[in-house]
Structure 1
């Protein structure tokens, strides 16, 4: 992928197109249809105008009710699409903010994040939302945007699952996941996250611990893959058994999103 997928923003972290990847069958995932980001609570007017220009018809908000109440996303007055969200909690707290008293160093921070990715494929609320995401991709016209709080963990897994269904090789799935670390807006996520994390801990985080929580690492996604395969036999079996993404649906999505 040569092009820059990031949209310049002032108050939205990690807004980008995750199309453009090659598939194993010689095609490419269409661009301009599959978008991802962090939450839009601090979106500027210029950010909202930039989102409007993307012609996004559907937003899949992976946050739970309490997250949405604490951080209501800004939407343009001109936006007339649909927001799909969960009626309840998808997690006890945003994954990167799910900290404990020992989460002050990078080692402990990464251990906490591994725990997040271990639980995610077994979380009924996330299973429901991933399934709704695929249903929206199948049924709704136009572009879509999937986001959570940080746009990296729940959103990163959602994007990976879509790319897998579309036939993108696992190495490129990981590359898309890790591209989050190249986002030019890390300071936006830090301002939304670090004060709350440090208040919860009652102490300062060291810089490496902050990066472990705000960035993503290969072993995070590898943990999701491992647990899904342990529970279902393979990632494809997880997609079919847990999310309802069977071969028929895969072919419809490929016809729509692969050129």
Structure 2
């Protein structure tokens, strides 16, 4: 089953429903979507997004990212959820001072996944995502810049709530690495770094930079367990996803 949906100008767009769950109901298809940003979306792309019946978009990017690559969400979605909290994005500055080899990108991701679950802006957006799932009558789309890290984390948590098996959670997360699509993203990251830093990492490093690894997701989940006792503890204590909200989400996204 190919979960990727091809667009002219949107990368890594996927339906992340369709998985079996512990309760036997399964996650609905055509209900949960994820992607990279939509700044390069064509008119045909926007029309197709409308056809998918997307009611709510959750944009996980910082304000500076949204200004740099603005998306036309209002053309196809009734509600757009974003956050203006903490607009400091030091990634480019960190990259300027870094080696930008493969290990630099790995360590950058390791650090990001450990910090992100407890950062205020992500706590706000992750919580609002789950409340949107509980209320939306139509499909819901979540995206960040590349659709791999912030998006990957919240989609994995969504699958966890739904009762998707851990093996399927990781397998879905790793679909970002599909070989036929990764070369294009390597070129895009290389162009961005060359324009902003005046140097271009080697292909080996760029491949790591646009990929995900099970280790990263486990780092985030381990931090949640360290601080809150378990992933479920994190969902309840930090994001406010209690039993009542879970029931509402199940009613919307399970078969």
TM-score scaled by length of structure 1: 0.91
Partner residue of 2:199?
Answer: 203
Matched, 1:141 2:140: no
Shift in Å, 1:215: 1.0
Going from structure 1 to structure 2, the CA distance change for 1:103 and 1:51 (only over 3 Å counts) comes to farther
Going from structure 1 to structure 2, the CA distance change for 1:53 and 1:184 (only over 3 Å counts) comes to farther
Shift in Å, 1:196: 2.4
Partner residue of 1:127?
Answer: 123
Partner residue of 2:243?
Answer: 247
Spell out the pairing of 1:105-184 with structure 2 (5 A cutoff): 105-182=101-178, 184=180
Partner residue of 2:83?
Answer: 86
TM-score scaled by length of structure 2: 0.92
Q: How many pairs were matched up? A: 255
Deviations 1:73-127 (A, max 9, x none): 13474x251111002336615x799635334221221011111101111211101
Matches of 2:179 and 2:14, distance apart in 1: 9
Answer yes or no: is the 8 Å Cα contact 1:24–1:169 preserved in 2. yes
Q: Which moved more, 1:56-65 or 1:40-49?
A: 40-49
Matches of 1:228 and 1:103, distance apart in 2: 30
Answer yes or no: is the 8 Å Cα contact 1:60–1:85 preserved in 2. yes
Question: What is the root-mean-square deviation of aligned Cα atoms in Å?
Answer: 2.1
Matches of 2:93 and 2:144, distance apart in 1: 13
Partner residue of 1:102?
Answer: 98
Shift in Å, 1:183: 7.2
Going from structure 1 to structure 2, the CA distance change for 1:73 and 1:146 (only over 3 Å counts) comes to same
Partner residue of 1:224?
Answer: 220
Structure 1 stretches of 4+ moved >6 Å: none
Partner residue of 2:17?
Answer: 19
Selected match of 1:73 from 71, 82, 105: 71
Matched, 1:62 2:60: yes
Matched residue of 1:6: which SS?
coil
Q: Which moved more, 1:154-163 or 1:175-184?
A: 175-184
Matched residue of 2:238: which SS?
helix
Runs (5+) with no aligned partner, structure 2: none
Q: Which moved more, 1:172-181 or 1:198-207?
A: 198-207
Matched residue of 2:33: which SS?
strand
Answer yes or no: is the 8 Å Cα contact 1:97–1:193 preserved in 2. no
